[in-house]
Amino acid sequence: MITDITSPSHADAGRRFAQPSARFCEAWRLMATARAMANWYENHRNVCSRYVHSTSRGHEAIQVAAALHLQPDDYAAPYYRDDAFLLGLGLTPYELMLQLLAKADDPFSGGRTYYAHPSLRRPGFPTIPHQSSATGMQAIPATGMAQGILYLTRQGLLHPDLRPVVVCSIGDGAMTEGEVSEALQMAVLKKLPILYLVQDNDWAISATGAEMHAMNAWEFAAGFKGLRRLQTDGVAFVQAYEAVGEAMAYVREQRAPLLLHARCPLLNHHTSGVRQEFYRPPDEVERLHQSDPVDHLSAYLTREGIATHEELDLWEDEINEMIALEFERALAAPDPDPATVRDYVFVPTSITAEQGQRHPEGAENVLMVDAALHAIDELLSEHPEALLYGQDVGKRLGGVFREAARLAEKHGEHRVFNTPIQEAYLVGSTVGMSAVGAKPIVEIQFADYIWPGMNQLVEELSKSCYLSQGQFPVQALIRIPIGAYGGGGPYHSGSIESTLLTIRGIKVVYPANAADLKGLMKAAFLDPNPVIMLEHKGLYWSKVPGTAAARTPEPDRHYVVPLGKARLVQEAAPHHGKQGTSAVIITYGMGVYWALAATASFEDRISIQDLRTLHPLDWEAVVNEVEKHNKVLLLTEEPLLNSFMESLAGRISRQCFRALDAPVFTLGAEALPAVPLNVVLERAMLPTPEKVGAALEELLAW
């Protein structure tokens, strides 16, 4: 049964505590510290406003209440106003000030990201993966953490006595984001142990609640069957503490989601850069200050005889003195070393050389789709922390290309399962999964449908390692069928690699045959960084004319191909290179087969280099081939204009200029918005062996 409840009154809550004095005094100190820090930042704007920041003024009670209920084995996803929450967890004002001032010793990011954007993996503290500023984006990674916890529990990979929960803190304005709905849907669908803590101050920068939504988060949550709801006053600490305790107990014991809606005033600016006097009436701000949570708790402590006014004044003086000293210490701390600016884009991978047997004795030729299927099967067998999910990959179908056929039957439907049509959740959940120790393999059904997942890919996956100083690389393998395959039409034939390659912090792999697909798949899974594997639909079954060579003998189960290593598919005779009568085609994916078909009539004058990995690029191999042949054709299936290959052409022209005997030639698809459905039009748009041959004739004539 779903039960919707409102927390008990402030007076009732106070009577439920056994000897609460020490905890209430501790909470007051934390809340007063958060207020004092906010006041100090405001009074020293000449220094503190160099970098934009938000503070928890008005939210201190609900944040500290939530923090005091968390345990070291729990997980949290705060948002950018949660500095009181961080103090409640045990972080020091000095640590937060180091981040405020973007100092080298900022424990979260080394000066790379904003104030109150934590990345915390520290003994005795809840785990907090990298948190971004993107509004509402934390809901999906946080829900992914809860799903990962559920999965690891079912796999027997968590100690049976542990019952960790996830707290996702979020503003009410962010609840209107579509990705929040995806998170809530999955939380109730899978019955995940997560608490959504909604802090409602009725503002989203200058927009009021009435302008933003037709209902608040409490009302909105009623539409998610199975999501228990709770409301509380976010000003009154005692009531908030009781409500959070009840909420956490429910999530921890029932292993089910709950949304806690807390109303609280915004007593400071939206950020230091967007000041409240720009858009809020002064009388409203003055009225709201009568609901200051710190003053509210002060009144409670004195009324109940827990502390005197004199004691509170003394504590406040001590806090203010401490804040002043700590700020001066943080101000004097060193700035980051410029030499470290490139650190932590990726963390090192253990796969640095080709291993295993590519062509084992007696191995049968396999299709690319079967090589992928076998690779995933072997990974699931060897790694209990691995799981595969996506649209239609489950037991009933096993993938629209049968690339996951029978995996759910063999490994269980809790390890291989269907998801809703939620590309953002598919991508973003891997952040949370990785943070708790699961190893997700997810599939986007077609490359044309990646776009709803781009927010998560850009804001969460790609930045996590860099902005957390390597604490939270996202170990995720994202599979994406790609490319045209004869009449697939405008929504199932697209190429997206150039867009992906503008996102720093992810790796992009594009195999062109079965052996490479299996070896790269294994290496991508074992890589501790996010990897996108683009798998060409036209090569899956070798049904497109001229792609029979995509079938290869199947490598053994130990075979891996390190990412960032190109492969020479075809090599021109050495004497042509010396005579200046050869050229190299640098390509990947379907381009390999257009090149093979086109060069059949050029005898031994053309080398073909398959990049295999687009990022990191094997630049050394590219330069080697350019210098060997002095003439180069870059071939891609993508529309050429503003593409990865045009960028590579510019780089080759700049850095290999002295070795070139001709301009760098490029060939790709026509610059059209989509691949047309009719196969005649599709052929007119895409490269063909004939087009490649014509380009080679022109290139060799230089």
Q: Which residue has the tokens 């949370």?
A: 432
Q: Compute the CA torsion angle 373, 378, 383, 388 (nearest 10 deg).
A: 10
- For residue 135, give the amino acid letter: T
Whether residue 616 is preceded by a cis peptide bond, meaning omega within 30 degrees of 0, is: yes
Other C-beta atoms closer than 10 Å to the C-beta of 333 total 15
Q: In 61-131, where do the E strands start and end?
A: 75-77
Q: What is the DSSP string of 123-161?
A: TTS-BB----SSTTTTHHHHHHHHHHHHHHHHTT-S-TT
Q: Compute the CA torsion angle 413, 415, 418, 421 (nearest 10 deg).
A: 160
Residues 246, 72: contact at Cβ < 8 Å? no
**How far is residue 659's CA from residue 654's CA, in Å, rounded to a whole number?**
11
Query: Is residue 492 annotated as part of the catalytic site, yes or no?
Result: yes
What's the angle, vertex CA 620, arms to CA 618 and CA 626, rounded to 5? Answer: 105
Residues 670, 699: contact at Cβ < 8 Å? no
CA terminus-to-terminus distance, the chain? 78
Helix 619-629 with 644-655: angle, nearest 10 deg: 60
Helix (H, G, I), strand (E, B) or coil at 433: helix
Of the candidates 296, 492, 536, 629, the residue annotated as catalytic is: 492
Q: b/e string for 297-328 if b means 16 or more Cβ within 10 A? A: bbebbeeeebbeeeebeebbeebbeebeebbe
**How far is residue 612's CA from residue 622's CA, in Å, rounded to a whole number?**
12
Residues 444, 499: contact at Cβ < 8 Å? no
Q: Which residues are catalytic?
A: 492
